[in-house]
Structure 1
Amino acid sequence: MFRSRALFRQYFAAAIATLSVMMAGTSMGWPSPVLRLFKENPNHLLPNETFIQMTSDQSSWVVSIIELGNLVTPIPFGFLVDSVGRKPCLLTTGPLYIISWLLVIFTKHVYVLYVVRFMQGLAMGIVFTVAPMYIGEIAGAKCRGALSTFFIGMLNTGILLEYLVGPFVDYDTLAYVSLVIPVVFLLTFIWMPESPYFLIMKERDLDAKKSLYWLRGGREASSDKINLELYNMKQDVEKEMKLSFDFMDIISTPANRRSLLIVQIVAVADVISGMSAVLPYASSTFARTEGAWITPDQCTLLLGVLVFLSTFPTAFLVDRTGRRPLLLVSCFGSGISQLTAGTYYLLTENYKMNLTPINWLPFTSITCFAVIYSIGLGPLVPTLQGEFFPSNTRGLAGGVTTITLTVISFLVMKMYQVIIDHYGVYLNYYIYSVGCIVCGVLVYFIIPESKGKTFAQIQDELNSHIAHKSKRKEEKKQTKIEASNKKAEIERNNKVENKIEA
């Protein structure tokens, strides 16, 4: 499978680092199998089954409050990641998840669940800010795209774990299963190397060389190649670190503003697609389909399996077809799928049409959306986040991206039930459809290709694009001035001729 020890070690380090992302996935997938236990009365529960009394509004807060926690940590850790390191910041997420799952096991109250979900959100904010950066910086240019897809792959693995186990075990057992992941993460990631980019930033060149030596295969690695790559890294970092470092740096230059715009467009597309609401509400959404051929829990389980499997082609395609084609297919394909699901629910719930012969359509549409999302929008946010931001702004800009994801995701998740109660579930899917299509248009016109390029090449192309754009503006301005001068000269000549004739 691996052509060299270097490739194996990079894949291995990325897999261990993204156990943190798997932890986030378990916290995202957990509400779906347990949501039916959060009721005002204990009807339809099995004997000895855990029951937590809460209103539908409280249950919607349990689902969505994780995003409020996710809002708190990105900016502070955007600074901390450049002062204490990528690895220590990522390690802090393990204890947060361990404590949160222990609270789930030993307490059974809605307000404790608010605290649990908020804590998990704090950890998720760190993961979403730091993990893409760490993966991007340990990877070689040729495999960076494939390694970056580990992020969505492990996120989906965590979600799938909850979908697979949740329907078949009790409330406490599911929490114990979820608790295993952060424990394994702490025991393994502590042995992984720090990012060589960070070590160079801190002028720890010997440590950076040791880190790079391990990542590039140890004894198998050529000393000359290691020294050359280390030299190039140092040149890149020194060039980027010559710039000042404060909050305004992320918008201080045209290239930085363009980088921020590119990543924010993809981040908005990621969450406006509705995936953050579709997953936790999957079981309750499928339960709305009359006469469905399989149960809601089976639908949810199958959805999780297909989403998980769909991440594997992305790892193969992202460094072959490029980022842009996958993003375009994902945006427009997701938009069409969401439009189809929304139309089905509009006709059945608002117009009371009998569509039993095609009651497979909502599951098929939502599954198609989830699969198409998972080959483009899902995995490519962390990929682009790790590629487009320069070293001196990568931590802070990553924090801003996480906040963008969090704010919109919170609104999507919290408003899902509100929109159902006031208008119908169809409107959610129509909103997601329009958002995907609009973002697809923006991707087509704004986002460049970054396949197979080093960080330095990407930054050089961004700067050259800005320079070319400025040159064209200057040429247009000069053309207008020349045209205006020519027009004025013609008018003067006409006046002179008129005077002579007079």
Structure 2
Amino acid sequence: MMIKLLNNGAVHQYMAGITCSITLAIMNSAIDWSAPAIPKIRNNETQLKLTDSEISWMVSSLYIGNLIGPIPAGYLMDLFGRKTTLLYASLFPIVSWVTMLIAKYPYQVYFARLLFGIKIGFIYTIVPNYIAEISEPKIRGSLSSSMQIMSNVAAIYEYSIGPYVSYEILIYASLLIPLVFVLTFIWMPESPYHSVMINKDNKAKKTLTWLHCNKSEEEIEKQLTIIKYSVKEQMKSKPTFKVLISTKGNVKALIIAILISIGQRLTGIGALMAYSSVTIPENSIPNFAKNQCVTLLGIIWFLTSVSSTYIVYRHKRRTLLIISGIGCGSSTLLASIWFFVEEKTTYSDFSDKIRWLPYISFILHAIFYAIGVGPIGASLRGELFPANIKGNASAICSISLAITSFMITKSYLIVANYYGMYLNFLFFGLSCFAIVIFTEFYVIETYGKSLQEIQDELNGLQK
């Protein structure tokens, strides 16, 4: 599939989309870093001393910063451009990792994680819009999958290095990722939609010519005309928060994007990544240490996200969301049952015989998450909104996602310690089935449609 698309001239779109997606590796390096770092902190292998309560704040303070980032990100991406804003925002993770390196006290760690969270707010707000605006409809879904791939590359990176190096070396290794992003993304073009928004049509044409390197000048002119028309129609109203609820289409888009964004976190993916080292039961796989199980899970996350690129390219969004929700829900309910038997019953001998069940459930969760809720949730945030409210709408979606992520990561260990790990996974499972119901009755199909066609459908207009 990839070779066919590259032969059709999509190579430059993939270059721009994939380099932009490195920001997801920046983001997930901070999330996944916790898994190998927590055992080092607990075992006093670092100058940093934290209690379990302080560790939960260390993990969740990331999402407090995420609450701060989206609003300025939405404003700045329209003012300075998607590319420029992402590049300058890379200062946040760089400063964050340096601060973590010298931190001796909890408040220093919280500050560093807060800075990183601000960058995550920028990523969630800007990246889906950039990818949607530089890609043609037929590859938009697979490019959104590249975001999931980069997330899982970070997981493998952190899980593979973390257990075998010191706390300080792990931070140095993590610091490399934002540097790689800056050195690669700086050569990519600005979104043609933003260029049109600021009346730089020649720059937009130049970008389109590069992105669609196999198309004739006549085809490029036609595409530029479509973008100019779309932007003109969508920019008739000033980009205020009031405009978000001014039309039926905007309201519907906002409801879909917010609830699917929240649904992404309610599947439990963030908690699994951050706390995998304390969630996976001992001896889940015979002759495998827990660190090796964590690394293997990271590899599975990566492989499933790569294979999902083809699936997302070939199949409709709603179908994949429904299948993904059912699969994630079933797998987390299986894990919940095992933890319940292990923690709350006298049948521990039975649970020992099937000690592999939670780990298999996590693998199934990874597979089903990668084919639907993961990539499609991000794709919808970039597809559903008109140009005049993209920034504000993306900011609200990112804030919703951040609040959900904070609540889950902060409560995860508390719920596990006081009530039982089973309750976390019971909640995740029920949430997944709620996503299925919502998708079936409310989410529109965006597969293979231009951004303008999506707006027409949201507003009930004929093509």
TM superposition score category, shorter chain reference: over 0.9
Write the mapping of 1:193-342 to structure 2, written as runs, cut at 5 A: 193-217=189-213, 220-287=214-281, 293-342=287-336
CA displacement at 1:291 relative to structure 2: 8.6
Cα deviations across residues 290-346 of structure 1 (Å, max 9, x unaligned)? Answer: 896522211111111101111122211213111111100111111111111011010
Mark the CA change 1:52 to 1:336 in structure 2 (over 3 Å): closer, same or farther: same
Cα deviations across residues 235-254 of structure 1 (Å, max 9, x unaligned)? Answer: 11101111232111111111
Match of residue 367 from structure 1: 363
Match of residue 12 from structure 1: 15
CA distance in 1, matches of 2:88, 2:24: 13
Write the mapping of 1:83-98 to structure 2, written as runs, cut at 5 A: 83-98=79-94
Query: Residues 37 and 51 of structure 1 are in contact (CA less than 8 Å); yes or no, is this contact kept in structure 2?
Result: no
1:32 to 5, 13, 35: 35
CA displacement at 1:84 relative to structure 2: 1.3
Q: Give the secondary structure class of the aligned counterpart of 1:50.
A: coil
CA distance in 1, matches of 2:249, 2:218: 33
Amino acid aligned to 1:324: R
Match of residue 172 from structure 2: 176
CA distance in 2, matches of 1:458, 1:145: 14
CA displacement at 1:191 relative to structure 2: 1.5
Write the mapping of 1:419-438 to structure 2, written as runs, cut at 5 A: 419-438=415-434
Query: TM (normalized to structure 1)?
Result: 0.88
CA distance in 1, matches of 2:346, 2:163: 31
CA distance in 2, matches of 1:93, 1:306: 30
Query: Number of residues paired by the alignment?
Result: 457
Amino acid aligned to 1:30: W
Aligned: 1:81 with 2:77: yes
Aligned: 1:23 with 2:17: no
Instruction: Tell me how large the CA RMSD over aligned residues is.
Output: 1.6
Write the mapping of 1:86-165 to structure 2, written as runs, cut at 5 A: 86-165=82-161
Query: TM (normalized to structure 2)?
Result: 0.95
CA displacement at 1:107 relative to structure 2: 3.1
CA displacement at 1:228 relative to structure 2: 0.4
Structure of larger gyration radius: 1
Amino acid aligned to 1:351: T
Amino acid aligned to 1:4: N
CA displacement at 1:110 relative to structure 2: 2.4
CA displacement at 1:142 relative to structure 2: 1.6
CA distance in 2, matches of 1:228, 1:271: 40
Query: Residues 49 and 104 of structure 2 are in contact (CA less than 8 Å); yes or no, is this contact kept in structure 1?
Result: no
Write the mapping of 1:489-500 to structure 2, written as runs, cut at 5 A: none
Query: Residues 257 and 380 of structure 2 are in contact (CA less than 8 Å); yes or no, is this contact kept in structure 1?
Result: yes
Query: Residues 31 and 63 of structure 1 are in contact (CA less than 8 Å); yes or no, is this contact kept in structure 2?
Result: yes
Q: Give the secondary structure class of the aligned counterpart of 1:316.
A: helix
Match of residue 413 from structure 2: 417
Match of residue 495 from structure 1: none
Query: Residues 125 and 395 of structure 2 are in contact (CA less than 8 Å); yes or no, is this contact kept in structure 1?
Result: yes
Q: Structure 2: any 5+ residue segments left out of the alignment?
A: none
Amino acid aligned to 1:17: C
CA distance in 2, matches of 1:102, 1:436: 38
Query: Residues 37 and 52 of structure 1 are in contact (CA less than 8 Å); yes or no, is this contact kept in structure 2?
Result: no
Q: Structure 1: any 5+ residue segments left out of the alignment?
A: 43-48, 468-502
Q: Give the secondary structure class of the aligned counterpart of 2:313.
A: coil
Cα deviations across residues 209-250 of structure 1 (Å, max 9, x unaligned)? Answer: 111111111xx4310010000001101110111123211111
Mark the CA change 1:139 to 1:374 in structure 2 (over 3 Å): closer, same or farther: same
Query: Residues 323 and 451 of structure 1 are in contact (CA less than 8 Å); yes or no, is this contact kept in structure 2?
Result: yes
